[in-house]
Each structure stands twice: as C-alpha cells, then as structure tokens.
Amino acid sequence: MNQVPTIQLNNGIAMPQLGFGVWQVPDAEAAQAVGTALEAGYRSIDTASIYGNEAGTGKALAASGLPREELFVTTKLWNHPREPWGRDNVLREFDASLEKLGLDHVDLYLIHWPRPMREDYLAIWKTFEEIAESGRARAVGVSNFQPAQLERLRAESPLVPAVNQVELHPLFGQAELRAVHAGLGIATEAWSPLGQGKELLASPAVLAAAEKHGRSAAQVVLRWHVQHGTIAIPKSVTPERIRQNLDVFGFELDAEDMAALDALESGRRIGPDPQEFDA
C-alpha cells in the first residue's frame, strides 16, 4: 500500500496530498476507474457535478467496502447557466450531488469557477458557510479563484477557503498565486497536474529527471508537485498509469531537478482564463 502524506487544511482536517481526478471520465467508466484507484491505494477522489460522473464515482465508493472515514471525497458546484445562483439553488445542487454520490456528507465542496462578471460568488460563499456549519461538507473551498476574489472573501467572510483548486503544472506554476495562498492559509490544489499529459511529459527537463531517477515522466512531474507542497489530482483511465501515478513517494528530486522543472514556466494556461470563463 502506498503511503500518501496528508496536508492539514486550515480547519484542521487532513487531506491526502495525492488524489484521483475524474474530469473527462464518462459516468459509465467512472465506477471502474475509481474502483481501480481505490484498489491501488488512492483515498481521495475529486469529482464535480459538471463531470456527470458523481453516480459512477459513488458506486465505486460503495463497492470498495472502505470505511467512509478513510475516504476523502471532493465535489464542486457548477455555474448557473443563466443567472446568479441563489441560496436555495445552491443547497439544491449540493443535495443533488450528495444523492448521486450516495453520501450524507462530502469532505470538500468547492465553488467550481468564480465568474466575476456574474458577481455572485460572495453570495454563494455565504451559503457555503452554512453548508460547512451543517457538517455536510467537512471543508469548503473554491476553484479557479484569482487573488482579488480571495481577498474579497477574506474581507467579507469569517470563513477562509480551505483550498483553491487551480490549473497548475510546471508549464504554469502559479508562483504568485501560491504565495497569496500561503499568506491566507489556503492549501493549493492542482488540476491537470500533468499538463493534461501532453508536451510537458515529453519535455527534455522532465525526461532527463525521469532517466536520472529511473521513473516515468508523469512520476517526476507528480513528485515536483509533492515537493512543492501542492495537492495533486492526476486523472487516468489506464490501470497501469493509475497505479504508477500514486507510486511517487519512494524517490526524491534534488534541487537541480526542481529548478529545471521550475524553469519550464511558460506563463501560458492550457485551460480557460478564470477571469473570463462563464460557461
């Protein structure tokens, strides 16, 4: 069994530093992929209402027979398609996610995108305060938030997000945002930690470190996350890769490797710009 270290969130809850992400995994395949991940030793699963696979994820959680307290389940509130979210809709969406997952609580509930042009994230956060208080989410946080939005929450709410889950990988390392998180006590979580498995995994710096340590390119990149203190949720539907991606605690990158990976920073996102994204 792989020993995954935990990160202590700002409300004292422990979150595994490496989890399994199911973005783009169809519901029909999710049960199998999540089942493989749980067998491999993952205990943290990251889904979202928009992924359409909360039901498949829930099936795998139930079928695993693992005690609930050993699991760490994250899901996310999707953007309202037409108008700002109100309290009732947010609570209804949250109930629907719990029902699909077959759970009475999640470990982490996130606002999926800030949509600053809608000006509703603060009101949503007020409802998240209620959800946190009810214990139906052990922690609440945000995703794709920028410093200005984090500052606004800090100014207007006593509740600091436990986590901000953002696009982050060596090609887009988010150094500035990570510093803001450190100042506010927010844990940094990386989506697409492998850069979606594209050019990042073929870059010379990553391949050189892989060769040096006798590891795969993906393992090197995940190790970079671990050593930066980031929570990472790699996605794969390939059983061999699912297992391989968890096996990153038996080697260490040295300062030179870390610097070479840091130097891959391109300043370019793969995914949408959160300031503009309004799906």
Query: Smallest gap, in angstroms, from Cβ of residue 221 to ligand A2P?
Result: 8
C-alpha angle 177-231-12 in degrees, rounded to nearest 5: 95
Residue 149 or 192 with smaller CB distance to ligand A2P: 192
Query: Smallest gap, in angstroms, from Cβ of residue 43 to ligand A2P?
Result: 18
Which residues neighbour 80 within 8 Å (Cβ) at sequence distance 6 or greater?
A: 89, 118, 120
Residue 2 or 196 with smaller CB distance to ligand A2P: 196
Query: Smallest gap, in angstroms, from Cβ of residue 236 to ligand A2P?
Result: 4
Greatest Cα pair distance in the chain: 54
Helix, coil or strand: residue 253: coil
Q: How far apart are CA 191 and CA 195, in angstroms?
A: 9
Q: What amino acid positions are annotated as catalytic residues?
A: 51
Which residues make up the interface to ligand A2P (CB under 6 A)?
A: 21, 192-197, 201, 216, 218, 234-238, 241, 244-245
Residue 21 or 161 with smaller CB distance to ligand A2P: 21
C-alpha angle 133-138-144 in degrees, rounded to nearest 5: 100
Considering only CA atoms, give the Rg of the chain: 18
Residue 163 or 218 with smaller CB distance to ligand A2P: 218
Tokens of 114: 């800030």
Query: Smallest gap, in angstroms, from Cβ of residue 180 to ligand A2P?
Result: 23
Beta-bridge mates of residue 7: 15
Residue 79 or 192 with smaller CB distance to ligand A2P: 192
CB 135 within 8 A of CB 183: no
Query: Smallest gap, in angstroms, from Cβ of residue 194 to ligand A2P?
Result: 3
Tokens of 222: 């995940």
CB 33 within 8 A of CB 26: no
CB 164 within 8 A of CB 186: yes
Q: Find the helix or strand (DSSP H, E) in which 244 lies.
A: helix 239-246
Which residue's CB atom is positioned nearest to ligand A2P? 197
